[in-house]
Amino acid sequence: MNNVGLITGASSGIGLELAKIHASKGRDLVLVARREDELLKLKTELELTHNIQVVVIPMDLMKENAAHELFASVKNLKIEVEYLFNNAGLGGYGKFHLRDWKKEREMIQLNIIALTELTHLFLPEMIKRKFGKILNTASTAGFMPGPMQTVYFATKAFVVSFTQGVAQEVCNEGITLTALCPGPVQTEFEKAAGMEGSGLFKSAVSAESTARKGYKAMEKGKLIAISNNTLNFAINWILPLFPRKIILKMVQNLQTIK
Ligand SMILES: NC(=O)c1ccc[n+]([C@@H]2O[C@H](COP(=O)([O-])OP(=O)(O)OC[C@H]3O[C@@H](n4cnc5c(N)ncnc54)[C@H](OP(=O)(O)O)[C@@H]3O)[C@@H](O)[C@H]2O)c1
Encode pLDDT of 113-122 as tens digits: 999 999 999 9
Ligand 1 centre and the CA of 250: distance in Å? 25
Classify each residue of 75-90 as buried b or exposed e, where b means 16 or more C-beta atoms within 10 Å of its C-beta. Answer: eeeebbbbbbbbbbbb
Confidence tier at 198 by pLDDT (50, 70, 90): confident
The SS3 of residue 28 is coil
Mean model confidence pLDDT for the chain = 96
pLDDT at 1: 92
Task: Please identify, in words, the CATH class of the domain defined by 4-255.
Answer: alpha beta
pLDDT at 200: 83
Instruction: State which ligand 1 atom lies nearest to the alpha carbon of 34.
Output: 41
Q: Is the CB of 142 under 6 A from ligand 1?
A: no
Q: Catalytic site residue 152?
A: yes
Share of the chain above pLDDT 90, in %: 93
Inform me whether the pLDDT recorded for 56 exceeds 80.
yes
Write down the catalytic residue from 83, 93, 152, 215.
152
The CA dihedral of 181, 182, 187, 189, to the nearest 10 degrees, is 60
**135 Cβ neighbours under 8 A, 6+ residues apart:** 18, 83, 84, 85, 86, 87, 177, 178, 180, 214, 215, 217, 218
Q: Is the CB of 61 under 6 A from ligand 1?
A: yes
Task: Give the pLDDT confidence of 135-153 residue by residue, as tens digits.
Answer: 999 999 999 999 999 999 9
Q: Is the CB of 214 under 6 A from ligand 1?
A: no
Q: Is the CB of 191 under 6 A from ligand 1?
A: no
